[in-house]
Amino acid sequence: MIHWLRPDDPPGAFPPVEAALDEPDGLLCAGGDLSPARLIEAYRRGIFPWFSQGQPILWWSPDPRTVLYPGELRVSRSLAKTLRNRGYHTTFDHAFPRVILSCGDAGLRPEGTWISPQMRAAYLRLHELGYAHSVETWHGGQLVGGLYGVALGRVFFGESMFSTGRDASKVALHALTRVLQERDYRLIDCQVASPHLESLGARSVTRGEFVSELAGAVTDLRPDDRWRRR
């Protein structure tokens, strides 16, 4: 049995992350809501929501955790060539609604998407409050790739990315890592491992190590207004 949250429970009423199940890996609790206050409390504790349409809200804290340190992005020869010659340019927070809509586009994700209208509305609200941000990749005036996530303290919690142009999401990630290094961000949370993330330099740490890093890096819960000035 897992812990159930009621919508009227305090935002931080999550069980300890150590209580997460081994199978499915990291399932911690269910229920509650996707209010900004609860989402912020979840992220600062190393918890994130992930559920399919028709399911209750499910909250996760897997072990191990996949992270990418901004200075460790692996730029392959092909990506370096794209950065030099493809004619892409990147922006920040110029098209957040379009990015999150594209990340959840079933036509771009034949395996299915977890970005339901409920999730999209929750992150649009976080964006309005200055916590959720997007990076956009453009080519010839067209949006061809991007990513979005949540910035808290000195951690960027990556949520999803999309690409309709060659390496376009990787170009967005490259732009993100450069900005995060400039601002002394510690890490990007990539949640769970995949061959794609590993090819970009992401690595796994234990949940204990991840939570310990969060404790030192997420000490200020105010939105970082530098994103709005880019």
Predicted pLDDT of residue 158: 98
* pLDDT at site 194: 93
Q: Is residue 109 located within the same domain as residue 217?
A: yes
The pLDDT value recorded for residue 230 is: 58
Question: CA 168 to CA 164: how far, in whole Å?
Answer: 7
Extract the tokens encoding 22: 């081994």
Average pLDDT over residues 187-199: 96
Q: What pLDDT score does 225 carry?
A: 87
Q: 112, exposed or middle or buried, with CB in 10 Å at 0-12, 13-18, 19+?
A: exposed
Q: Count structural domains, the chain.
A: 2
Assign 189 to helix, strand or coil: strand
Contacts of 164 (CB under 8 A, 6+ apart): 102, 108, 144, 145
The helix (H) or strand (E) run that includes residue 150 is strand 142-152
pLDDT single digits (tens) 125-137? 999 999 999 999 9
Do residues 14 and 44 both lie within one domain?
A: yes
Reduced to 3 states (helix: H, G, I; strand: E, B; else coil), residue 36 is helix
**Sheet arrangement for strand 48-49:** 3-5, 27-31, 58-60, 48-49
Which residue range(s) make up the domain with 137? 66-229
Residue 34: CATH number of its domain: 3.30.70.3550
Of 62, 89, 111, the residue at which a domain comes to its end is: 62
- Asked if the model's pLDDT at residue 206 lies above 70, the reply is yes
Q: Token pair of 226, please? A: 């530098």
One domain for residues 128 and 218: yes
Asked if residue 138 and residue 214 are part of one domain, the reply reads yes
Shared domain for 76 and 154, answered yes or no, is yes
Task: Give the chain's mean pLDDT.
Answer: 95
What percent of the chain is predicted at pLDDT more than 90? Answer: 90
Name residue 101's amino acid: L
Q: Are residues 120 and 8 in the same domain?
A: no
Query: How deeply is 184 buried, as exposed, middle or buried, from its count of CB atoms within 10 A (0-12, 13-18, 19+)?
Result: exposed
Please give the average per-residue pLDDT across 100-115, as a whole number. 81
Helix, strand, coil abundance in the chain, percent, nearest 5: 35, 25, 40
The whole-angstrom separation of Cα 146 and Cα 144 is 7
Compute the average pLDDT of residues 26-51.
98
- Residue 98 and residue 206 share a domain: yes
